[in-house]
Amino acid sequence: MPDAHMTDLPAARPAIAALPPYVPGARGTADAAPPVKLSSNESPDAPLPSVIEALEGAARGINRYPDMGASEVTARIAREVGREPAEVVVGAGSVAVLAHILQAYTGPGDEVMFAWRSFEAYPILTRIAGAEPVMVPLTSDARHDLGAMAAAVTSRTRVVMLCSPNNPTGPTLSQAELDSFMASVPSRVLVVLDEAYLEYVRAEDVADGPASLDRYPNLMLLRTFSKAYGLAGLRVGYAVGPEALVAPVRACVTPFSVSGPAQLAAITSLDARDELEERAAHIVAERDRVVAALLAAGWDVPDAQGNFVWLAVGDATADLAAHLGGADPAVLVRPFVGEGVRVTIGAPAENDAFLARLATWPGRA
């Protein structure tokens, strides 16, 4: 029996103890054939040679702390988006930047609103900040219901997350939708437009983030190097917004959390933007091919503007994911039990493996 003084152990805050575990995309097992990994919306391409070369050089400096303010990469990003460095804050992935935004702007008693289903980090980060998630169901065509979201704003609403394209369903927000939403939301509410999949968007009416910053003083954009820029493993993301709104976020950033190699890889990737956009264009072509094949096979697919497609199979979700995972090699996807399966667009042969295995699923009504 432990001593009496040991039975009274430190307790996490109730909001933390109640968190659902974050479910990462399936990774496969070491002993099986390498799986077709379509579960985490990553780029299928190997890093650019220029990025590898930059990283090899940067590796020689890792006995030193990185530039704490990440000033060079911040300035480079600012130039890229046509803003001032003071309007950009860089963090260890855009999920970390969002955590800092919520830390800076919310706390107990506050509400953070977002569509649902959307990015699964939103409710978790909201709870960690001590605030309450308010989740507004998507429309039947898997889009944000901005009318319902505007109507759900209360005096406690501090932050609204908009995800365009929406992960995991795919549709973007149009400029007209964003404009009417911004007009109906009080300016004391911070609106964060998460553009993680921006480079894959081909919808002509998509909301223009940087142009919208000029119009709305309570808007911030959230962007990442993890998807089209292929740096998911290095952790670099950023937010852009008015200087006065960005400064408190910067104050929350964990010191030195963006490593020197990560800063350099991000700069090198911006310098190679044309190459990376060409890669994104290949993914877009593959996405359109996969969507066309799905539609031809009778599937109903929401407008896919990211590097993924959404199959809303409801109660059959776990069964479909298991069927795809039972292929040889396994096709790993991201199931949201009871709702649907998100499938990342990979290399052509990977997408073919997915389509071929899907065609043999007996669960299709």
Ligand X SMILES: *Cc1c(COP(=O)(O)O)cnc(C)c1O
Tell me the CB-side half-sphere exposure of residue 75, using CA atoms within 13 A: 5
- List the Cα angle 161/128/104 in 5-degree steps: 60
Residue nearest to ligand X (CB): 93
Q: By CB under 6 A, is residue 199 in contact with ligand X?
A: no
Q: By CB under 6 A, is residue 167 in contact with ligand X?
A: yes
Q: By CB under 6 A, is residue 344 in contact with ligand X?
A: no
For residue 241, the minimal CB distance to ligand X (Å) is: 16
Site string for ligand X, 6-35 (x = CB under 6 A): ------------------------------
28: Cβ contacts below 8 Å, ≥ 6 apart: 34, 35, 37, 330, 332
Write out the two tokens for 264. Answer: 């350099």
Q: By CB under 6 A, is residue 163 in contact with ligand X?
A: yes
- Enclosing H/E stretch for 81: helix 71-81
Note whether 14 and 320 are within 8 A (CB).
no
For residue 70, the minimal CB distance to ligand X (Å) is: 14
Of 98 and 316, CB closest to ligand X = 98
Q: By CB under 6 A, is residue 232 in contact with ligand X?
A: yes
Q: By CB under 6 A, is residue 198 in contact with ligand X?
A: no
> Which three-class secondary structure state does DSSP give residue 214?
helix
Q: By CB under 6 A, is residue 103 in contact with ligand X?
A: no
Q: Which of 211, 197, 251 is nearest to 40 (CA)?
A: 197
Of 168 and 325, CB closest to ligand X = 168
Judged by CB under 6 A, the stretch of 151-159, 208-216, 223-231, 342-350 that binds ligand X is 223-231
Buried b (16+ CB within 10 A) or exposed e, 147-176: eebbeebeeebbbbbbbbbbbbbbbbbbee
Judged by CB under 6 A, the stretch of 28-36, 222-230, 271-279, 323-331 that binds ligand X is 222-230
Q: By CB under 6 A, is residue 41 in contact with ligand X?
A: yes
In whole angstroms, how far apart are CA 70 and each of 40, 63, 75, 77, 223? 27, 17, 9, 11, 16
Q: By CB under 6 A, is residue 268 in contact with ligand X?
A: no
Q: By CB under 6 A, is residue 224 in contact with ligand X?
A: yes
Q: By CB under 6 A, is residue 95 in contact with ligand X?
A: yes
Q: By CB under 6 A, is residue 207 in contact with ligand X?
A: no
Q: By CB under 6 A, is residue 172 in contact with ligand X?
A: no
For residue 300, the minimal CB distance to ligand X (Å) is: 22
Note whether 263 and 73 are within 8 A (CB).
yes
In the DSSP assignment, the letter for residue 327 is S
Distance CA 12, CA 34 (A): 39
Q: By CB under 6 A, is residue 116 in contact with ligand X?
A: no
Of 151 and 256, CB closest to ligand X = 256
Tell me the CB-side half-sphere exposure of residue 122, using CA atoms within 13 A: 26
Distance CA 276, CA 26 (A): 26
Judged by CB under 6 A, the stretch of 11-19, 207-215, 220-228, 309-317 that binds ligand X is 220-228
Q: By CB under 6 A, is residue 99 in contact with ligand X?
A: no
Of 169 and 268, CB closest to ligand X = 169
Binding residues for ligand X (CB under 6 A):
41, 93-95, 119, 163, 167, 194, 196, 224, 226-227, 232, 237
